[in-house]
Chain A
Amino acid sequence: MFDALQYEFMRNAIACGLLTSIICGIMGTLVVVNRIVFLSGGIAHAAYGGIGLAFFFRWPYLIGTLGFSFLSAMIMAAVSMKAKHRSDTIIGVIWAIGMAFGTILIDLTPGYNADLMSYLFGSILTVPRFDLYIMLGIAILISVIVTFFYNDLLAISYDEEFARIRGIPVVPIYFMMIGMLALTIVMVIQAVGLLLVIALLTIPPFILEKYAKSLVQMMVGSSLLGMIFTLIGLGLSYRFNLTSGACIIMVAGGFFFVFLLFEQVFIYLQQNRS
């Protein structure tokens, strides 16, 4: 199995998987504790509209997608700030419009068209070296911002009203968080597809949430768990010649359900003992 490492594409794929795990571990923790999984899904799917734009106008991928996703993310952030209980509908609408818009633009683009699948599951095996450097830069940027604003992010995530009373600039911090999320999602979609982004954003932090004693623990733990999923998934995909993105998701999803099962069994045993 380790002979896979002699191929550069495999080494790049592993590096990409590890960077993705770190970025998703940090931002995913914030997503899970803030209960904005649906909003993240909205950003990820609406990003497809940006992909369509980039294709149609022959813009570079990052400019089209990042611009479009950022815009839709800010709209969703504003909606979820203003009307907490009505936001899911509007996010769902933006989600659908983004995908439809992207599909139509790609239909209208003459010549060879990329298929939807490669954006759903990504193409981690063909990640160019340059993208790895961009991902590394984003990972460092996000780590620095989250470290610097750690206490503010913690306060608005745990008790937004109290954060306001303490005079923390809740609205700018919230928008900054959603902005980082949009950046994360766009970066990571390119490499691993929008389904894997959502899986890696949510599954490791969800498992860690009950056991971590602080946000930092949850972020570090989620990153490590994400790395384990990615490495096992890549190994399986190499060994059995299967789509790598899908393999990583299956590993993460499988682990998720096994974990839930064990947890239930454990609770059952504890209750019966006493």
Chain B
Amino acid sequence: MINDNILEINDVFFGYNRQVVLENINLTIREFDFVAMIGPNGGGKTTLLKLILGLLKPHKGTIRVFGSPAQKASHFIGYVPQNIHINVNFPITALDVVCMGKLGPEKKNSRNMDRDDALTILEKLSMSAYANRKMGELSGGQRQRVFIARALISNPKLLLLDEPTASIDSKGQSEFYDLLKQLNQELTIIVVSHDLLVISSHVKSVACLNRRLFYHAQSEITSCMFDSMYPNSECCPVEMVAHGLPHRVLQNHHKIENE
């Protein structure tokens, strides 16, 4: 049976100590989807990512990535971390960071092969001029491209990005989403953000996460998103999205006002 579900999360519960962080999460992501996972700070986004990556174990429920348990599949996922400023003074070049993406439990390629692959990917992201620069000398946006290259070098089918736009300016952000759109032709993408702006026109579906998860097969912003994101806010949702680069059609206003 051919199963084109990249990710299957069934009835997952998780919490730290006694505090429940994720409740009854169900999510199925098919190949070539482009999902924006949004939710407020503390809503469990990073926790869910760590569960998908197998860094944490769910208390209840199952997570299957490419049909196998999350713990065994993490090295098939390309992961771009939220904090791209880790260890800025570390003695490492952009090229060596990208090569790190080739590391794995068993396969050991020759170093030269890895370097060639790394250079090809950096070329693709128009970063090859910086290959031999130290990470500390690069700007935030350049560093992020290096981390994307590190995630892509293992040819993943699924790319996870945690708060990717936090450290780049708005011009950089639109270039960044164009890049993701291009990548989306070959792989499935999940982007996590606490910011509704992330819902660019390239996104195909939206998952709202605030302890519980609601999945929307289209990328329009609905009242549910606002309920889950800003439960007590009375501000006009248009304000929150109008300065986003791509413009979205919003649901009728009165629906939100009625609640």
Contact = CB atoms under 8 A, between A and B. Distances in A.
A158 B100 contact: yes
A165 B93 contact: no
Contacts of A210: 89
A25 to B, nearest CB: 13
A168 B108 CA distance: 12
Interface string A203-224: 0000011101111011000000
A269 B103 CA distance: 42
Interface string A178-214: 0000000000000000000000000000001110111
B231 interface: no
B53 interface: yes
A213 B134 contact: yes
B77 interface: yes
Given A165-B53, A165-B74, A165-B75, A213 B93 contact: yes
Contact of A166 (B75, B86, B132, B134): B75
A212 B93 CA distance: 10
A161 B81 contact: yes
Interface in B86-128: 86-87, 89-93, 96-97, 100-101, 103-105
B91 A214 contact: yes
B55 interface: yes
A163 interface: yes
Contact of B103 (A161, A163, A208): A163
A154 interface: yes
Contact of A162 (B79, B92, B132): B79
A162 B100 contact: yes
B91 A218 contact: yes
Contact of A158 (B54, B74, B77, B87): B87
Nearest to B91: A212
A212 to B, nearest CB: 4
A129 interface: no
Given A155-B103, A166-B103, A167-B74, A215 B91 contact: yes
Contacts of A166: 74-75, 100-101, 103-105
Contacts of B86: 158-159
Contacts of A218: 91
Given A166-B101, A166-B103, A167-B104, A159 B81 contact: yes
Nearest to B114: A151
B207 to A, nearest CB: 21
The interface centre, meaning the residue of A152, A162, A209 with most chain B CB atoms within 10 A of its CB, is A162
A35 to B, nearest CB: 9
Contacts of A161: 55, 81
Contacts of B104: 166-168
A213 B150 CA distance: 18
Nearest to B80: A162
A237 B178 CA distance: 65
A164 interface: yes
Given A165-B53, A165-B74, A167-B75, A213 B100 contact: no
A159 B89 CA distance: 13
Nearest to A152: B103
A231 B89 CA distance: 29
A33 interface: yes
Nearest to B73: A167
B105 A167 contact: yes
A230 B92 CA distance: 28
A154 B55 contact: no
A226 to B, nearest CB: 17
Given A166-B103, A168-B105, A214-B96, A159 B75 contact: no
A5 B97 CA distance: 46
Interface of A: 33, 151-152, 154-155, 157-159, 161-169, 208-210, 212-215, 217-218
Q: Nearest 3 A-B pairs (CB), nearest first? A: A167-B105, A212-B91, A167-B75
10 contacts: A33-B91, A155-B103, A158-B92, A159-B81, A165-B75, A166-B101, A167-B105, A212-B91, A215-B92, A217-B91
Given A155-B100, A209-B90, 6 more contacts: A158-B87, A159-B100, A166-B75, A166-B105, A167-B74, A213-B132
